[in-house]
Amino acid sequence: MSNFVTRETKPRNLFARTGALAALVALSFMTNMLASGTIAAQSNDLPRADLVEQLNTQYAEAQAAVGVTDEGGVIEVFTTKDGETWTLVLTKPNGTSRVVAAGETWIKR
């Protein structure tokens, strides 16, 4: 078997790598903005259970990804099954959550 990479697979791999890198850069940027209070001031805190219920009831969104921040918070992505909409949520160590960002067209890799 050869290690030959076809033109068809090479762009896909490159896109996957750059897409993952872009996601990491964006997440890092948002984490820094949260730490500085810039984004945090734009949203109200809610108990996590209440926010998750609202996302499920109003938008049919469920958890699709989760990560832990350096500050001990939890970042979660909620999305519809078809990826039509998504919401990025930060839950602080005290259990309160806030919407950090929301949008359309979530693409799962």
Q: What is the 3-state secondary structure (H, E, C) of the chain?
A: CCCCCCCCHHHHHHHHHHHHHHHHHHHHHHHHHHHHCCCHHHCCCEEHHHHHHHHHHHHCCEEEEEEECCCCCEEEEEECCCCCEEEEEEECCCCEEEEEEEEECCCCC
Mean pLDDT (whole number) for 89-107: 94
Mean pLDDT (whole number) for 64-78: 95
pLDDT for position 55:
95
Mean pLDDT (whole number) for 76-99: 95
Condensed to tens digits (0 to 9), the pLDDT of residues 21-56 reads 455 545 555 555 555 444 444 458 999 999 999 999
- Range from 1-5, 40-44, 87-91, 104-108 that averages highest in pLDDT: 87-91
Residue 82 has pLDDT above 70, yes or no: yes
